[in-house]
C-alpha cells in the first residue's frame, strides 16, 4: 500500500518550505524537500549597482542572519578592491558576527527546537515549568541584540559596518559594560548547554561530509579556507569543487561537491574545529561524553549550544583585548577585479562572489547560502530516517521529520533569492 504525505509551509523554520513524501510499504519512493518562497533575484539586483552599496542590499536577503550577509559582502568588495582593514575593525566585525550567532542560536534552540522535545506547541505556550528557560532565552537574545546594535548601529541590517571600516566606533565604556554582561551570561549559556545535553535525540546516524571554514588558530567566523574530513581547498577555488543545480520542486538551488551531498552549520564547524573551542566549551564536550565526529544530524542542536558557550567566551576575550581608538574607513580605489569572501553564518558556509569594473559597478554576482548547501543532505537524511519511524503512524512521522528538518536550522528565505519559477 502506498501513501503520500505532503507537508506544506513547514512551521518553526525561517522561510517557506514544502516536503513531499511517498511511501510504499516500508520503502521510500519519493522524498522531495524544496523551498517554496517567492524569488527575489538578489544576484540580478546587484548587477549595475555600486560595489559599496552591496552590503546594504544583500543584508536584506535574510532577517535572522543579516549581519553575516553584510560582513561577507563587505569582505568580498574589500578583497576585490585590495583594501586591508585595521585590527580594531576586524575585532568589531567579529563581535557583531558573534553577537548574531548568540542571538540566532538562542532563538533557534528555544523558540524553534525546544517545543518539539518538551511537547509544547510553541515557546510562548511553554508552561510555568519552563518559564525560567524562556526568560533565559530572551536574556540571551537581548544580549546578542545589544551587542549588534551598540557596535553595528542597529540590531538588524547593521549600518555602521561599511567597506573600509566602521562609520561609528563604540565608546570604551560600552565595551567594558559588555564584558560584565557577558560574564553574567556565561551561566545562562552553560544552563542552555546542560538543557540540550539532557534532551533525548533519536538514535540516527548518517555519515556525510562536514564542511566548514578553518583558519588554524581560532574557531571560524569570518576567515579561513574550506575544510572537510577528506578535503581542503582555498576559498578562491570554491567554483572548482562546488556546483549548483536545481530541481523543479524547489525555488532554492541545491549545491553539491562533486555530485555528493555535504553538510554545513554548527555540527560541521564543531566536528572540524573542536580543537579551537574555549575552555568552558571543551569541558562541556567532555562532560557530555559525545564521540567526535558526531554523525547524528539531530545533534546539531547540541552543537549550537556548545557554540553558544564558546561565542560568549570569545566575545569576552575580544572585549578584554579591545582598546578602541578613533579611526575613519579606508578609501576606495576602484579597479576591474573579482572578490570572493567565504564566512560562517550561524547556519554554515556563506559565499559572496562579485566581479567589479573600473567604475566600481558590480558586473556579476554569485551568492551561495548555507541552506542551499545543506538542502540535499537534509533531503537524504529524511530518506534515510524514514524507515525507522515508518510504523509510527502519519502524525508521528510528520512530527519526527519536522524535528529533523528543524534540527538543521534551515533558513529558506536565504536560500531563495536566485532562481525559480516559470512565468506561464
Partner 1 sequence: MARPNKSNKPAVAFYDLTGCNGCLLSFLFNEEELLDLAAHIDIKAFRFVKEIKDDKQLDIAFVEGLVASNDDLDILKSVRSRAKVLVAFGSCACTGCIPAYRNFIDPSKYSGLVYEKLKELRDMPATPIKDYVTVDHYIPGCPPDKKQVLNFIKDVLLGKTPVDYDKPVCFECRLNQNRCLLDDGKMCLGPITRGGCDSICTNGGLECWGCRGPTPDANIPLIIKLLEEKGFTKEHIKQRLRTFAGLMIEKPPKQKMVKPVKIRPKKDKAKKKPAKKMKKHDKKMKKHDKKMKKHDKKMKKHDKKMKKHAKKLKRPKKARKGKKASKVKKTKRKAKSHPSRKKALKKRVKKKPARRNAKKNAVKKKTKKTPANKKTCVKNKVKNKAPKKVAPKKPKKPASFFSRMKLKKK
Where along the sequence are the contacts to partner 1 (CB under 8 A)?
9, 11-12, 14-16, 36-45, 47-50, 56-57, 60-64, 66, 107, 111-112, 115, 121-125, 134-135, 138-139, 141-142, 145, 152-160, 162, 167-168, 246-251, 413, 418-424
**Neighbouring-strand partners of residue 257:** 242, 260
- H/E run at residue 28: strand 27-35
Cβ burial of 345 (10 Å; 0-12, 13-18, 19+) is buried
Task: Name the minimum Å distance from CB 168 to partner 1.
Answer: 4
Task: Name the minimum Å distance from CB 349 to partner 1.
Answer: 19
DSSP secondary structure, 50-69, as one string: BGGGHHHHHGGG-STTHHHH
- H/E run at residue 7: strand 2-7
Task: Name the minimum Å distance from CB 197 to partner 1.
Answer: 24
Q: Which is nearer to partner 1, 17 or 263 (CB)?
A: 17
Task: Name the minimum Å distance from CB 285 to partner 1.
Answer: 29
Q: Which is nearer to partner 1, 39 or 280 (CB)?
A: 39
Q: Which is nearer to partner 1, 341 or 362 (CB)?
A: 362
Q: Which is nearer to partner 1, 280 or 366 (CB)?
A: 366
Q: Which is nearer to partner 1, 162 or 272 (CB)?
A: 162
Task: Name the minimum Å distance from CB 55 to partner 1.
Answer: 10
Distance CA 158, CA 289 (A): 39
Query: How far from 421 is each of 37, 40, 200, 370, CA to CA, in Å?
Result: 10, 11, 40, 21
Q: Which is nearer to partner 1, 39 or 218 (CB)?
A: 39
In terms of DSSP H, where are the helices of 153-200? Answer: 172-198
Distance CA 350, CA 69 (A): 8
Q: Which is nearer to partner 1, 48 or 216 (CB)?
A: 48
Q: Which is nearer to partner 1, 120 or 384 (CB)?
A: 120
Distance CA 399, CA 401 (A): 5
Task: Name the minimum Å distance from CB 5 to partner 1.
Answer: 16
Q: Which is nearer to partner 1, 135 or 292 (CB)?
A: 135
Nearest by Cα to 339 from 354, 324, 328, 325: 354
Query: How far from 99 is each of 44, 171, 233, CA to CA, in Å?
Result: 30, 17, 28
Task: Name the minimum Å distance from CB 25 to partner 1.
Answer: 27
Cβ burial of 329 (10 Å; 0-12, 13-18, 19+) is middle
Distance CA 370, CA 220 (A): 15
Task: Name the minimum Å distance from CB 282 to partner 1.
Answer: 30
Instruction: Please answer whether residues 210 and 222 qualify as being in contact, where contact means their C-beta atoms are separated by less than 8 angstroms.
Output: no
- HSE, side-chain direction, 13 A CA sphere, residue 245: 9
Amino acid at each position: 500500500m502506498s501513501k503520500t504525505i505532503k507537508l506544506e509551509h513547514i512551521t518553526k523554520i525561517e522561510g517557506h518550505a514544502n516536503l513531499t513524501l511517498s511511501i510504499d510499504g516500508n520503502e521510500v519512493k519519493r522524498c522531495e524537500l524544496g523551498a517554496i518562497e517567492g524569488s527575489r533575484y538578489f544576484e540580478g539586483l546587484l548587477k549595475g549597482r555600486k560595489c559599496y552599496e552591496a552590503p546594504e542590499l544583500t543584508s536584506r536577503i535574510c532577517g535572522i542572519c543579516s549581519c553575516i550577509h553584510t560582513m561577507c559582502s563587505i569582505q568580498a568588495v574589500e578583497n576585490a578592491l585590495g583594501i586591508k582593514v585595521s585590527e580594531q575593525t576586524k575585532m568589531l566585525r567579529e563581535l557583531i558576527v558573534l553577537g548574531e550567532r548568540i542571538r540566532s542560536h538562542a532563538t533557534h534552540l528555544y523558540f524553534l527546537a525546544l517545543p518539539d522535545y518538551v511537547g509544547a506547541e510553541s515557546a510562548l505556550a511553554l508552561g510555568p515549568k519552563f518559564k525560567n528557560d524562556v526568560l533565559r532565552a530572551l536574556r540571551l537574545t537581548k544580549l546578542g541584540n545589544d551587542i549588534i546594535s551598540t557596535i553595528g548601529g542597529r540590531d538588524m541590517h547593521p549600518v555602521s559596518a561599511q567597506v573600509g571600516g566602521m562609520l561609528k566606533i563604540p565608546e570604551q565604556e560600552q565595551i567594558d559594560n559588555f564584558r560584565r554582561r557577558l560574564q553574567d551570561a556565561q551561566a545562562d549559556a552553560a544552563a542552555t548547554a546542560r538543557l540540550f545535553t539532557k534532551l533525548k535525540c533519536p538514535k540516527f546516524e548518517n555519515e556525510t561530509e562536514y564542511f566548514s571554514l578553518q583558519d588554524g588558530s581560532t574557531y571560524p567566523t569570518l576567515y579561513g579556507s574550506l575544510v572537510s574530513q577528506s578535503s581542503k581547498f582555498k576559498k578562491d577555488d570554491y567554483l572548482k569543487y562546488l556546483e549548483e543545480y536545481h530541481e523543479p520542486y524547489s525555488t532554492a538551488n541545491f549545491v553539491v561537491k562533486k555530485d555528493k551531498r555535504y553538510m554545513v552549520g554548527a555540527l560541521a564547524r564543531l566536528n572540524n574545529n573542536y580543537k579551537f573551542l574555549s575552555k568552558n566549551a571543551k569541558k562541556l564536550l567532555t562532560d557530555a561524553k559525545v564521540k567526535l565526529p558526531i554523525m547524528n544530524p539531530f545533534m546539531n542542536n547540541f552543537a549550537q549550544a556548545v557554540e553558544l558557550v564558546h561565542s560568549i567566551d570569545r566575545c569576552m576575550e575580544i572585549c578584554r583585548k579591545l582598546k578602541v581608538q578613533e579611526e575613519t574607513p579606508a578609501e576606495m580605489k576602484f579597479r576591474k577585479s573579482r572578490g570572493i569572501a567565504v564566512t560562517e553564518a550561524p547556519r554554515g558556509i556563506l559565499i559572496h562572489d562579485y566581479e567589479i569594473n573600473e567604475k566600481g559597478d558590480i558586473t556579476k554576482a554569485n551568492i551561495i547560502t548555507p541552506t542551499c548547501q545543506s538542502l540535499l543532505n537534509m533531503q537524504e537524511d529524511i530518506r534515510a530516517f524514514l524507515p525507522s519511524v515508518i510504523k509510527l503512524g502519519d502524525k508521528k512521522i510528520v512530527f519526527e521529520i519536522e524535528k529533523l528538518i528543524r534540527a538543521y536550522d534551515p533558513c529558506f528565505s536565504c536560500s531563495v533569492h536566485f532562481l525559480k519559477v516559470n512565468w506561464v
